[in-house]
Structure 1
Amino acid sequence: MSERLGPYELLSKLGAGGFGEVHLALDAEGRTVAVKVLHPHVAADAGALARLAREVETMRRVGGPHVAEVLDASLEGARPYLVTRYVQGKPLSAVPVPVEDLGPLASGLADALLAMHESGVVHRDLKPANVMMSEDGPVVIDFGIASALDSLSVTASGAVVGTPGYL
């Protein structure tokens, strides 16, 4: 049985992390989307809500076929969520890449990085698990710790942000 969250019908869980869960969902027009829902204990934390708001703002700045764009977000209520385009495929970390596909992979990632750079955004956690391999090429996801270059927030001196093996 599916569950509703705002105008979205949550169909199945795609994954989960410390911040929340990502669900496959349908919007009001029947389009497939991905909905990131904060865990209840996270939703009660003002700092976590501020991070989600920053993620939404940062993702809305970046466009292009190689970045999962934000379609909607709700930061209100007991279950804040973020809706992005659903990228059908598997994470780069879970699939072998044949030699003949390395060129298109590199080109798609370069396009994504260029779109981020031109938008003044630093992803800060670009790794194989955050790159979905779709039929149309790689798509960068999870801007949870991304930062806008013109943002006033600064990482504390000595703090490590991101996945150490990919810094």
Structure 2
Amino acid sequence: MALRAGDPESIGGYALERRLGRGGMGTVYLARSPSGRRLALKVVHQQFADDDEFRVRFRQEVAAARRVSGAFTAAVVDADPEAVLPWMATSYVPGRTLAEQVAADGPLRGAELRRLAIGLVEALRDIHRAGVVHRDLKPANIVLSDEGPRVIDSASPGRPTTRP
């Protein structure tokens, strides 16, 4: 999705190229670092940025996401939870989401399904070892990359993310 009128051109020194998606808590952009590295940069919606309680939760999300950063997730590269519009940048994982794949080609079978299952088990193991509970695991948050499945949005904003 192209950038829209009103979208910023850059955030935190990262040039925004296009929208990757928009959810209830924020918008995710494809961004580039000054060196050319591609990133997924999540920016919180204004109404949440003005909420002190939400900002506390977003700080916790960033801290939890930094702890997770395993081989089967998208690593946090940078973040500014104190910005006027809080944001977090993770490594960009190219590929279709599981939701897109199933919508286009139907259910996975055989070796593809086994690869997905094993990758998800490893991702969830890494997430849980970091003391985080992924509270928004769904096909739209699983990217089928060339290297195998990657779980994204492992610490969803606005929700408790650490185990009690």
Question: Is 1:123–1:146's contact at 8 Å kept on the other side of the alignment?
Answer: no
TM-score by length of 2: 0.85
Deviation (angstroms), 1:120? 1.6
Tell me if the contact between 2:18 and 2:30 (Cα under 8 Å) persists in the aligned partners. Answer: yes
The residue number in structure 2 matching 1:162 is none
Match of 1:136 among 135, 138, 147: 147
> Contact 2:19–2:30 (CA<8 Å) still a contact in 1?
yes
Alpha carbon RMSD of aligned pairs, Å? 1.6
Runs of 4+ in 1 over 6 A off after TM superposition: none
Superposed CA deviations along residues 97-156 of structure 1, whole A, max 9, x for unmatched, are 242211111111011011112212111221111111111111111121362225xxxxxx
Cα separation, 2, equivalents of 1:65 and 1:76: 28
Equivalences, count: 150
Question: Which residue of 1 is the match for residue 11 of structure 2?
Answer: 5
Match of 1:69 among 72, 75, 78: 75
- Report the secondary structure of 2:144's partner residue: strand
Within the candidate set 11, 27, 33, 1:21 is matched to 27
| Cα distance per residue 1:58-84 (max 9 Å; x no partner) | 111113221111111002232210000
Question: Distance between the aligned counterparts of 2:64 and 2:27, measured in 1?
Answer: 20
Distance 1:62 1:87, change over 3 A: same
Does the 8 A contact of 1:121 with 1:146 survive in 2?
no
What runs of 5+ residues in structure 2 fail to find an aligned partner? 103-107
Distance, in Å, in 2 between the alignment partners of 1:137 and 1:120 is 23
Which residue of 1 is the match for residue 49 of structure 2?
43
1:89 to 95, 98, 102: 95
Structure 1: gaps spanning 5 or more residues = 151-167
